[in-house]
Structure 1
Amino acid sequence: MGTLWFGGTVRPLTDSSAVASAVFTENGMVEDTGTEEDLRLRWQEKITEEINLQGGTMYPGFTDSHLHIIGHGEKLLKLDVSTVKSIAELKRILTEKAEKTPAGEWVLAEGFNENLYENCTVPDRSILDDITVDHPVMLTRVCRHAMVTNSTGLKLAGITEKTVEPEGGIIVKDTDGRPTGYLHDQAQELLKPVLPPVDRSYVKRALEVALMDLHQNGFTGGHTEDLFYYNAPSETLDVFYEVINQQNKFRANLLVHHEAAEEVFAHAEEHPYVTLGSVKIFADGALGGRTAFLKEPYSDDPSTKGVAIHAREELERLTAEARKSGMPVAVHVIGDAALDYAVGALEKYPVPEGKRDRLIHLQVTDRELRNRLRKLPVVLDIQPRFTVSDFPWVEERLGRKRLKDSFAWKTFLEEGLMCAGGSDAPIEPVNPLLGIHAAVTRRSPEENHEDYMPEEKLSLYEALQLFTSGGAKAVSEENVSGLIQKGYRADFTVLNTDLFSSEPDEWLNSSVLMTVVDDTVVYDTRRRK
């Protein structure tokens, strides 16, 4: 017995012009598409439920190919400072928070971005001490590859001028050799033991809040990396198994941090909506903090090329370990030197037959690296919103010469490379329409200029593919997911707008009418009225 979906426009995305007006589904799968009249005639004996799209437009279910779901939930639960645009405003907000927090307890905030502040000032120990020394303070940077703390936090963690810098991390120090409170990449681990403990109920609440928000944003699935950061990885995995169920459907593909892999694989079980994906490895940091690993020095700081989280040989060893478990890898690579390390590891240790590796971010590439990538079964996991967030300051980091090979989404597609699209939430807003808009316009909606590297703009069809069939390719499921046609999962995102019939800036006024996972409506605006 099946369901007839009618009363709107259907964009199956089988090609850029394909359109239908109705869909028939049965047992969680698409059985037919066409006109309402034809489907009623063909399937009249099996139609037991009818759902009116109320003039909306149905797309294949949106998938975020790279995010941190629990981290996104934390951002929704915590103090978010990612939109703060000045040190004065930041100090005011944190002072208000400290005044409401008992002395001795942590003041925590998410997402500072010094590129929005005057003189790109990092809110380090000197600034945070002005706010309070009666509380330890910790702010994560928007990229989550760095954090800052005040003198109280440094003291609790025992971080002094004598503290040895961990491999793959940076303890920023002043001219007297004292830590400034600014900790990059692996140096963050020095502070984490003294941060407030995170219990299971908190993780569960963060996941529940995040899933509700993802459904409201039209997501039917996401590829997420969370298992290494909240107590025992197996416990966090159990939270996913518990929260995502027949009453709360969401297709979660979990990337597994290499340090959590052994425990997670031993604990894993069959689940209808939660699957284990690639082994996650970090090869470098981020451009914002100059820890992305580049072949040549930073243009605005020739003293550094960034940070390799792992030596080349260690990255190869971690890849080889993943292969022993029959797993693909997902490598965080932003700089071209980090990409060179990663590609070398994938070439040396090929992915198991029928699977694909993925490389995440790829903000700086070059032709030689792209030519090597074309020979590999690999998906490039890109985040279009980074174009909006990182320009124009990224030109200062890289210089004009490297810019032509940076954030080159159109070049990837034209050269035949498979790409998937994500938000990297909570680093960027999770709203997929912001990602689609950024991919097509390469500017913020409020901006009016020639766009950042306009030759790299995608068409709307290409941008939508990033969040539909691209996500399916990243997990080798393009034969059952990412399109609306017979034999594909009944996962749909229904908007009140046909994006193909409106202008890019108008897309951001669109709203989600329904989100459908496994033939089940998991979000419906009609139920909220």
Structure 2
Amino acid sequence: MGTLWFNGTFFTMEEEGETISAVYIKDGFIEGTGNKEQLEERYGRLITKKINLQGAFVYPGFVDSHLHIIGHGEKLIRLDLSDVEQAEEMKQLLEAKYKETTKNQWLFGDGWNENNFPDRKIFHRSELDEIAPDTPMFLTRVCRHAALVNTKALKLAGITKDTEDPVGGVIVRDNQGEPTGFLLDTAADLVKEVIPDVTNEYVAQALGLAIHDLFRVGLVGGHTEDLHYYNGFKQTFDQFKNIIDGEEIKFRAHLLVHHEATPEMEREGYKTGEVTPFLELGAMKIFADGALGGRTAYLQSPYTDDPSISGVAIHSQESLENLLKQAREKESPVAIHTIGDAALNMALTALEKHPLLKGRDRLIHVQVVDDTLIERMKKLPVILDLQPRFVASDFPWVMERLGEERIKQSFAWKTLLHHGLHCAGGSDAPIEPVDPLLGIHAAITRKRIGEDHNGYLPEQKLTPYEAVQLFTSGSAFAIEKEHERGKITKGYVADFTVLDQNIFTIDPDDILETNVLMTVVDNTIMYQK
């Protein structure tokens, strides 16, 4: 018994431009493709349900290859500062939030970005103290590699003038050596350690809100990294199992496992691989560096706009290689966050010394490269997780960070594809908006919404087909599911993103006006407009 979907334009993604008008689904997999008449003749009485798509356009279900699902849910719950364009506006929002905050609560805000402010102001803790003198404040920068805190939070964490910078982090200080309240990378962890633990109810709320929002924007799945930040592996993974039950909620979640969460995962009796048809435990996640916004991405040469620094290496080369060795002992792949070229060099050196015998490793972001690094990547079984939307948000200020010569091989998506490297597409939500259509638009145009130019580094623009591949077959290849996900053809899962426009042929800016009509997972409509 099966379902006939018809009267649509299905893009198979097997070849550019290849379409069909109907599919027959049995037990959640595509059994037959063609047109309505052919499939009715072939399957006859086996067809127990028919769905008329009314001329809509159907794509293999979009999958975000790198995001933080619970973090995205938190953005929907907490004070969202990501669209703030003036320091004064941020101050007013914090003042209003403080009035809502009860005694003993922390004040949280997410997504501020000084590069959006005309004066690029970064608040000092004394200014935050004026807003919330008796309430600890923790404001996560958009990159999630830096945070602002007030004096109350510093005192709770025991951070003083005499506190040394932790390995892989920086406590920013004033001319007298006093902490300013700006904490980079692992320095922010010193404060996170004293923030009260979140409850199961909070994690469930954030996860549930996030997944429904992902359905709304057409995502059938995501490769997410959340298992280290919400009281450890078990508490977080239990909520994934509870929410994504395979009945009311069907969402294909591939969970990367932070290296510090791996021991607990093993104690709970889990290992890399499928847990349910909708939940998979993936590679060991390792951070090699920070981000360009806070100048913590680790570069081989100093930052052009601040020659005194080259960024932050989260691990020494020895420590990074020890983590690789641990993963290999468990026959596990790794997923390494590498934004700067020095961090990428460290990661490749470790991967070359500890090769993966089976499967594929992942390099996440890969924003700054050079010819030598590209050639080394080509010799390894690696997938590159790209976030096209970073082009729209990081330019033009990132050109000041990297300089005229280095920028030519940065955010170089076309170059990476040209060299035959396998790439997948994601958002890194909540850092960037989770909507895959925004990522596809950015990959094609390489400019912000509303800008009138030919794109930043226009030679790196992707074709619409290449851009959609990132979020379909690319995401499937990243987790060795390319023979069952990411295309619309016989034997593949019945996961579809249904839109009201043909995004391969319309003006790229019209992609932004395209509506998600349905999100279908396992032949089940999880969202309908």
TM-score w.r.t. the length of structure 1 is: 0.98
Match of 2:285 among 280, 283, 287: 280
Q: Does the 8 Å CA contact 2:289/2:314 hold for their aligned counterparts?
A: yes
Are 2:62 and 2:218, in contact at CA under 8 Å, matched by a contact in 1?
Answer: yes
> Conserved in 2, the CA contact under 8 Å of 1:237 and 1:264?
no
C-alpha offsets along residues 12-38 of structure 1, whole Å, 9 cap, x if unaligned?
Answer: 111111011111111111112111121
Worse-matched range after superposition: 464-473 or 48-57: 48-57
> What is the rounded CA distance, in whole Å, between the counterparts of 2:101 and 2:362 in structure 1?
42
Amino acid at match of 1:427: I
Tell me the residue number matched to 2:268: 267
Distance 1:144 1:515 in 2: 29
**Is the CA contact 1:383–1:421 (under 8 Å) kept in the aligned structure 2?**
yes
Query: In 1, are the aligned partners of 2:337 and 2:363 still within 8 Å (CA)?
Result: yes
Separation of aligned partners in 2, 1:512 and 1:360: 27
Distance 2:416 2:102 in 1: 52
Residue ranges of structure 1 left out of the alignment (5+ in a row): none
Give the secondary structure class of the aligned counterpart of 1:394.
Answer: helix
For residues 138 and 512 of structure 1, the distance between their equivalents in structure 2, rounded to whole angstroms, comes to 35
Corresponding letter in the other structure for 1:81: L
Contact 1:172 1:181 in 2 (8 A): yes
Alignment-derived partner of residue 496 in structure 2: 492
Deviations 1:298-318 (A, max 9, x none): 000000110000011111110
Alignment of 1:192-341 (within 5 A): 192-245=192-245, 246-268=247-269, 270-341=275-346
> Which residue in the other structure is 1:11 paired with?
11
Match of 2:353 among 348, 351, 370: 348
Q: Which amino acid aligns with 1:347?
A: E
Q: Which residue of 2 is the match for residue 79 of structure 1?
A: 79
Match of 1:514 in 2: 518
Q: Is the 8 A contact 2:154 2:181 kept in 1?
A: yes
Query: What is the alpha-carbon distance in structure 1 between the residues aligned to residue 266 and residue 414 of structure 2?
Result: 36
Per-residue CA distance 1:342-385 (angstroms, 9 max, x = gap) = 011111111132x1000000110000000010011110000000
Contact 1:11 1:59 in 2 (8 A): yes
Aligned partner letter, 1:314? S
Determine helix, strand or coil for the equivalent of 1:55: coil
Cα distance, 1:265 vs structure 2: 3.0
**Distance (whole Å) between structure 1 residues aligned to residue 337 and residue 77 of structure 2:** 26
Deviation at 1:268, TM superposition (A): 5.0
Distance 1:49 1:267 in 2: 42
Aligned AA for 2:173? K
Task: State the match for 1:155 in structure 2.
Answer: 155
CA distance in 1 between partners of 2:452 and 2:109 (Å): 32
Aligned to 2:459: 455
Partner of 1:70: 70
Paired letter, 2:322: R
Amino acid in the other structure paired with 1:253: H
CA deviation string 1:411-445 (max 9, x = no partner):
00001000000000000000000000000000112
Q: C-alpha displacement at 1:267, in angstroms? A: 2.1
Secondary structure at the aligned position of 1:205 is classed as helix
Distance 2:193 2:179 in 1: 18
Equivalent residues in 2 for 1:439-454 (5 A)?
439-454=443-458
- Deviation track 1:99-147 (CA, whole Å, cap 9, x = no partner) reads 2223443221101101011321112313212322122211000000010
Q: What is the match of residue 185 of structure 1?
A: 185
SS at 2:91 equivalent: helix
Q: What is the alpha-carbon distance in structure 1 between the residues aligned to residue 474 and residue 169 of structure 2?
A: 33
Q: Secondary structure at the match of 2:369?
A: coil
1:49 maps to 2:49: yes
- Between the aligned partners of 1:8 and 1:308, the Cα distance in structure 2 is 50
- Aligned-residue sequence identity (percent) comes to 55
* Number of matched pairs: 524
Measured against aligned partners, the alpha-carbon deviations of 1:399-419 in whole angstroms (never above 9, x if no partner) come to: 001011100000000010000
Aligned partner of residue 339 in structure 1, secondary structure: helix
Give the superposed CA RMSD.
1.1
- Structure 1 residues 293-335: Cα deviation after superposition (integer angstroms, max 9, x where no partner): 0000000000011000001111111011001111100000000
Say yes or no: does 1:383 pair with 2:387.
Answer: yes
288-297 vs 147-156, greater mean Cα deviation: 147-156
> Match of 2:61?
61
1:21 aligns to what?
A: 21
* Partners of 1:328 and 1:352 within 8 A in 2: no
The answer to whether the aligner puts 1:416 opposite 2:417 as a matched pair is no
TM-score under structure 2 length normalisation: 0.98
Report the secondary structure of 1:201's partner residue: helix
What SS is found at the alignment partner of 1:44?
Answer: helix
Match for residue 368 of structure 1?
372
Partner amino acid, structure 1, of 2:10: V
**Inter-partner Cα distance in structure 2 for 1:265 and 1:250:** 24
- Cα displacement (A) at 1:523: 1.2
Gapped runs of 5+ residues in structure 2?
A: none
Code of the aligned partner of 1:88: E
Give the AA of the match of 2:420.
Answer: G
The one-letter amino acid of 2:283's match is S
Q: Which AA in structure 2 matches 1:255?
A: L
CA contact (8 A) 2:445 2:454 kept: no
Structure 1 residues 208 and 267, CA gap change in structure 2 (3 angstroms) = same
Contact 1:6 1:22 in 2 (8 A): yes
